[in-house]
């Protein structure tokens, strides 16, 4: 599906929810995609992309940025503490803040750099044992540590719903949590469910396979 068709679907979903299309950011998830597919989207004028591996991004994007100009890059994959220094310097937005050690490291690197990417706290809304994300019981504490104690730029919450459950339940839960913390942005919704996510209040949808086709 072309980026134009994706944007059209986003506009229709936003209108149905009584929202403005400009309130929803489409992140083109380009991880493991061939360069020709990424360039096809870039050539249509889209400039917001998401990656899940730092080293792959460092290998791929500098030359594309040199050719196409400013690009907003989102890190949507897990972030290890030993990669924070690179992530803070390369990405505009990080979607996977989920533990205190990560917050501590981000604060140190942000102080050194004098700036920090926008941050989303990843929430494990299904309390799944093997999934990344802060549990619901520790969310408020992590938010307080990052936003209030260290003044890091936490702008919203992110979730990946359990695959065996209705995503809408988790979208609505995350939306409620976000409002409760006074956050304006919500990163939720992917290729198969972004329209439901927009209905529930998503401001950042992560579109991969629907836009690029199968990986590789």
The pLDDT profile of the chain, 216 residues, written as one tens digit per residue, is 899 999 999 999 999 999 999 999 999 999 989 999 999 999 999 999 999 999 999 999 999 999 999 999 999 999 999 999 999 999 999 999 999 999 999 999 999 999 999 999 999 999 888 889 999 999 999 999 999 999 999 999 999 999 989 999 999 999 999 999 999 999 999 999 999 999 999 999 999 999 998 765
CA–CA dist 79, 12 (Å, integer): 33
Quick check: 85 and 120 in contact, CB under 8 A? no
CA–CA dist 137, 163 (Å, integer): 22
Domains of the chain (ranges plus CATH)?
3-208 (3.20.20.10)
- B/e letters for 4-15, b = 16+ CB within 10 Å, e = fewer, are eebbebbbebbe
């Amino acid at each position: 599906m072309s980026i134009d068709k994706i944007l059209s679907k986003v506009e229709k979903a936003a209108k149905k929810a009584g929202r403005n299309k400009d309130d929803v950011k489409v992140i083109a998830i380009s991880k493991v995609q061939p360069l020709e597919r990424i360039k096809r989207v870039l050539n249509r004028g889209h400039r917001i992309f998401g990656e899940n591996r730092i080293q792959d991004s460092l290998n791929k994007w500098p030359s594309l940025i040199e050719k196409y100009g400013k690009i907003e890059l989102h890190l949507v994959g897990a972030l290890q503490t030993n990669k924070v220094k690179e992530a803070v310097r390369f990405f505009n937005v990080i979607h996977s803040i989920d533990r205190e050690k990560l917050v501590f490291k981000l604060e140190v690197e942000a102080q050194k750099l004098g700036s920090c990417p926008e941050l989303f706290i990843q929430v494990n809304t299904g309390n799944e044992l093997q999934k990344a994300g802060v549990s619901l019981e520790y969310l408020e504490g992590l938010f307080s540590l990052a936003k209030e104690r260290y003044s890091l730029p936490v702008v919203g919450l992110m979730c990946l719903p359990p695959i065996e459950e209705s995503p809408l339940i988790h979208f609505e839960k995350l939306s409620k949590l976000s409002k409760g913390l006074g956050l304006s942005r919500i990163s939720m919704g992917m290729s198969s469910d972004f329209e439901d996510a927009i209905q529930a209040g998503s401001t950042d949808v992560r579109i991969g396979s629907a836009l690029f086709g199968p990986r590789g």
